[in-house]
Structure 1
Amino acid sequence: MTDLGSALRARGMRLTPQRRRIIDALAHLAHGTPDTIAVEVAEDGGSPLPLSTIYRGLEALEELGFVSHTHLDHRAPTYHLADHATHLHLVCLGCGSISEAPVGVADGFAGNLRQVAGFEADVTHMAIHGWCDQCSATRP
């Protein structure tokens, strides 16, 4: 947390109690939308934080590289601490389950993009949609 405080101060910002509560909520949740972060923060004994404060806090924390987000669906992004960005998100189109795979499984894909298009992919921001074992077994 001291690195976060230093990074914020270097940009003329502070580690406010609200930002600390957002970080603590994400550490507890592992993954959270702004709405689930609001619920978690409301349960920490402090006063509830408005969603606008949570969004601004997440934006500032992401800009500094302490928080990252993924789009698991077409709704609100899901946030996690940046040091937790070591996996891909696998979203089942059948049952809606979300699982994880090590980021290394996308090395071939990222390498192909680099070779063919000169594009450096950030696969930690990626959600792959498909079917889990159970749902794919029941598909026609």
Structure 2
Amino acid sequence: MLRARGLRLTAPRQFVLEAVYRLRHATPDQIHADVAERAAGVNITTVYRTLELLEDLELITHAHLSHGAPTYHPVGDLAHAHLVCRGCGAVEELPERALVGLVGELRETRGFRLDIGHVALFGLCGSCTPEGEPC
């Protein structure tokens, strides 16, 4: 895809793309740390520029799963929202079909088209919820 757009597939670009696929949901700092293990000369600025390029090419996308940096993941995944535990920080994928009712209602009542990939629902996972506590 890069070559089709007249761009070169450089080693840093390859390393960043591979890191996103390997880590699944990762911040730029996490991606940089992963890339640095393979290529010490790749700096954080290169990682940010590469993430922006790869997102423009629709190879990856991002979601905001905390107040910090965006979290990147592959586009090739099935459309999904994210469940983010405020206790342990775990991120789980929630299939698009789980939100079909909400997506339909928003479209019908408000003409709003929800971008599932950017949806993050925050709460406590089963491991962090005290026994017997109601939702």
Report if aligned partners of 1:41, 1:48 keep a CA contact under 8 Å in 2.
no
2:14 counterpart of 1:20: yes
- Comparing 84-93 with 28-37, which one deviates more in the overlay? 84-93
Deviation at 1:76, TM superposition (A): 0.4
Report if aligned partners of 2:78, 2:95 keep a CA contact under 8 Å in 1.
no
Equivalent-residue separation in structure 2 for 1:21 and 1:31 (angstroms): 16
- Structure 2, gaps ≥5 residues long: none
Percent sequence identity over aligned pairs: 44
Q: What residue number does 1:64 align with? A: 57
* Residues paired across the two proteins, number: 133
What root-mean-square deviation, in Å, do the aligned CA atoms of Structure 1 and Structure 2 show? 1.9
Equivalent-residue separation in structure 1 for 2:47 and 2:6 (angstroms): 19
> Are the structure 2 counterparts of residues 48 and 103 from structure 1 closer, same or farther at C-alpha, using a change threshold of 3 Å?
farther
Flag the structure with higher helix content.
1
Report if aligned partners of 1:85, 1:124 keep a CA contact under 8 Å in 2.
no
Report if aligned partners of 2:26, 2:72 keep a CA contact under 8 Å in 1.
yes
Report if aligned partners of 2:63, 2:120 keep a CA contact under 8 Å in 1.
yes
2:68 counterpart of 1:75: yes
Equivalent of residue 103 in structure 2, options 103, 110, 113: 110
- Structure 1, gaps ≥5 residues long: 1-6
2:5 counterpart of 1:8: no
